[in-house]
Structure 1
Amino acid sequence: MNYTLNQLQIFLKIVETKSITKAAELLFLSQPAVSIQLKNLQNQFEIPLTEIIGRQLYVTPFGEEIADASRRIITEVDAMKHKTMVYKGFLAGQLNIAIVSTGKYVMPYFLSGFLQQHEGIDLKMDVTNRFKVLKSIEQNEVDFALVSVMPDNLQVENIPLMLNKLYLVGNVKRAERFLKDGSIDMANLPLIYREKGSATRRSMENFLSKHHIDVTKKMQLTSNEAVKQAVIAGLGFSVMPLIGIKSELLNNELKIIPINGLPVTTFWNLIWLKGKKFTPAAKAYLDYLKTQKEDLISQNFQWHEDYEL
C-alpha cells in the first residue's frame, strides 16, 4: 500500500460531501485534482470505494470501512504532531470552529494572528448553514461557532465581535434605473432569498414582515455567494450583508439602494456551550480574542464600521 495522508484526507472529504465537486470546493482544489487522488487511492484496492449511480456518488460499505480507518490514521498522525510540539514547549492541539457561510468574510481575520503565534495549533473550520452550525454546537462537536443571530433554544455563552449590516443590493444598471425613477417599491422587485434556516434570510423576512411588504416575485439560492452572483447578473435584488460585497461595491458591480428601515443590523457573535471545558488551544484563543478584538476590528474592518449611505 502506497497511499498518502493527502489521499486519505481527500477521500474523507468526498465521503463527507458525497460529491467530488463539493469536496474540491471545500478543499480549495480543482475537481480534476480531487478525481485523480481518488483514482490513485482506489487503484490500491481491488474492491470499489465508491460508485456512481445516475449522477450521484455513493460510498460502498468497503469504502465506509476505509473511511473509518482513515480517520483513525489521521487522528494518530495529528496526535504525534501535537505531542512533538508540546515536548518542544509550544502550545499545540486542534481548534474546531463552525461558521455560517457569510462568516467566511469575518472569521479568518480573527484567526490569522493567533495561528501565526501558535504554529502547533491546527484549525478545522466548517463553513455551512446556520442549522448545521447550531447542531454542531448542540452536539459539542466544535469549540466555537460564529453566528449573526443568537440561538433561541441553546444554553450558550458568547463574545460579541462586530456589527453585521444588511442592505438592499442590486445590479448597478438595474439599481440606477429604479433610483432614477425616484421611488422603489420592494413588493414589485424580484427578490432573491437565501435558503430556509439562513440567518440572512431570517433577517430579510423579519424586515419585510415588519414593514408589511408582500413580495410577489421570489427566487431562492443556497449560498451567499450564489445570491451575490445572481444579483450581479441582474436576476434580481436581495438584502445582503455589507461585509461580503466590499469588492463588488468598489468595482461598481453592485449598488446599495437606500430604503427606509435599512440597514438591518445584527451582531457577529462567537458562541460556545455554557459550561464547556476548553482545551488549552481553545482557552488560549478565547483569551487572544478578548485582548485583541478591538485592534483586529480597527485594522481590518474600520471601513465596515464607518460605512453609511
Structure 2
Amino acid sequence: MNSLTFRLLQVYQQVVDSGSVTAASAALGLSQPTVSLQLKKLSSLFGMVLLEQQHGQLQLTEAGKAVYQCAQEVLTSQARLNSYIQALQGMETGTLKIAVVTTAKYVIPPLLADFCNAHPGIEVTLKVANRAQLIERLKNNQDDIYIFSQPPEDMPITAEAFLLNKLSVIAPHNYSGPDHCTLASLADQRVLLREQGSGTRKLIDEYCRKNGIEFTQPMIIESNEAIRLAVATGLGIAIISEHTLAHTPTDDVKLLSVNDFPLHNHWQAVTLNSRPESLAASGFKQFLREHGDVTG
C-alpha cells in the first residue's frame, strides 16, 4: 500500500506551481511518466481526484486544494528544519522563494544580487507577477516573501516597509500642455493608467477620489514599460513609479511639475502569518531593513 511521503508532496507541489506535468518534470529533473506515476500514487492514496484538466489548464479539486495546502505546510516546515540544522552546523544554505509585483522587478533584483553574493549557499527563486496574481500566490502560501507597494488588507499577513516608492507625472518630450499645475488641470489629457487592482493604480485612484478628479480620456495599459513607451511616442501622459524611469531611457519623456507629486508610498515585504519563517527568509528581510531607506 502506498504511503504519503515527502517526495510525493514535493512532486505534487511542483506540478501545481508549474501548471503542467511537462514543466514540473523539467523543474524536478524527472521524466514525465515518473511525475505522472507519482500523481497517480497520490490520488490513489486518498482515493480522490486531485487535479482536473479544464480548458487546457490544470485545476485543483477541493481535495486537491487540501492536499496542496498540506504539501505547502509540510515542505515549508521541512525546509525550515533543514535550514536551521545547517545553520547550527555552520553551513549557510537553504531555499528562498520571493514573489514581486511587476514594478518591483526594478527594485528587488539589484538587492537580491548583493544578498546572493553575500550568501551564495542559498538557492533563490524569483517570481514576477501582477498584483492579482501575487495575491493568489499569497492565498495559496506559495512563497516565503512577497513584495507589494499596496499589500492586501484582508489577509492574515505581516507587512514591513523597507523602501520609498515615488509616483511622478510624465509627458512626451515635446509636450506643450499645462505644467507647474495641479493634477485636476491635466484631467482632460489622455492619461495612460495601469489596470484596476495594480498597486500604482490604487494609489492614483485614492488620490483622485480624495481630490474629486476624474480623467476624461483614460487609457488602460497593463505594463509599465508599455506605458513609458506610449508616453514617449506621444500617446498621452502617465503617472508612473520613478523606479521604472530609473531603469529606462528618459530623454524621450518629460517629468512634469505637479502639485502634491510625487505621490509617496513604500515597497513592503509581506509574509503570511501561518507560514513558518525560514532562516533564509529572515535573513533577506533583515537585509532589506539594512539596505532600505525606512527608519524607525
Normalised TM-score (structure 1): 0.65
Q: What residue identity is the alignment partner of 2:205?
A: E
Could you tell me which runs of 5 or more consecutive residues in structure 1 were left unpaired when the two chains were aligned.
1-11, 18-63, 75-81, 299-309
| 1:15-94 matches, cutoff 5 A | 64-73=20-29, 90-94=91-95
- What is aligned with 1:209? 209
Kindly provide the amino acid, as one letter, of the partner of residue 208 in structure 2: L
1:147 equivalent in structure 2: 148
The amino acid of 1:104's aligned partner reads K
| Aligned residues of 1:98 and 1:142 also touching (Cα < 8 A) | yes
Distance across 2 between alignment mates of 1:204 and 1:282: 31
Question: What SS does the corresponding residue of 1:231 show, helix, strand or coil?
Answer: helix
User: Match for 2:269: what amino acid?
Assistant: L
Bigger fraction of residues in helix? 1
Shift of 1:116: 0.6
Asked whether 1:234 is paired with 2:190, we answer no
State the secondary structure of the residue aligned to 1:210.
Answer: helix
Identity among equivalent positions (%) equals 25
Cα distance in 2 for partners of 1:150, 1:66 equals 33
Per the TM alignment, residue 236 of structure 1 is displaced from its structure 2 partner at its CA by 0.7
What is the deviation of 1:283?
Answer: 2.5
Aligned pairs for 1:171-182 (under 5 A) are 171-174=172-175, 177-179=176-178
Q: Does 1:293 align with 2:291?
A: yes
2:132 counterpart letter in structure 1: F
- Please report how far the alpha carbon of residue 261 of structure 1 lies from its aligned counterpart in structure 2 after TM superposition: 2.7
Instruction: Tell me if structure 2 keeps the 8 A contact 1:186–1:213.
Output: no
- 1:92-111 to structure 2, matched below 5 A, reads 92-111=93-112
1:306 is matched with which residue?
Answer: none
Which deviations, in whole Å up to 9, do the C-alpha atoms of 1:200-245 show, x marking residues without a partner?
1111222222222221212111111111111111111111111211
Asked if structure 2 preserves the Cα contact closer than 8 Å seen for 1:91 and 1:280, the reply is no
Aligned equivalent of 1:28: none
Alpha-carbon distance, 1:276 to partner? 2.7
Structure 1 pair 91–169 and aligned structure 2 pair: CA distance change class (3 A): same
- Say which SS state the counterpart of residue 111 (structure 1) adopts: helix
1:91 maps to a residue whose letter is E
Instruction: Provide Cα deviations, 1:265-299, integer angstroms capped at 9, x if missing partner.
Output: 11111110124312232222233334x225xx59x
TM-score calculated relative to the size of structure 2: 0.67
Unaligned runs of 5+ in 2: 1-13, 31-81
Contact 2:101–2:147 (CA<8 Å) still a contact in 1? yes
Distance 2:190 2:177 in 1: 13
Q: Which secondary structure state, in structure 2, belongs to the residue aligned with residue 228 of structure 1?
A: helix
CA–CA separation in structure 2 for the residues paired with 1:135 and 1:164? 23
Query: Structure 1 pair 170/277, CA: closer, same or farther in 2 (3 Å)?
Result: same
Which protein has greater RCO, CA pairs closer than 8 Å, 6+ apart? 2
In the alignment, which residue of structure 1 is the partner of 2:161? 160
Whether the 8 Å CA contact 1:156–1:273 is kept in 2: the answer is yes
Q: Is the 8 A contact 1:195 1:222 kept in 2?
A: yes
Question: Does the residue aligned with 2:109 lie in a helix, a strand or coil?
Answer: helix
**1:187 equivalenced with 2:187 (yes/no):** yes
CA distance, structure 2, for counterparts of residue 248 and residue 118 of structure 1: 29
CA distance in 2, matches of 1:183, 1:271: 34
Runs of 4+ that moved beyond 6 A: 180-184
Q: C-alpha root-mean-square deviation of aligned residues, in Å? A: 3.1
Contact 1:90-1:118 within 8 A present in 2 as well:
no
Whole-Å Cα distance in 2 between the matches of residues 248 and 282 of structure 1? 30
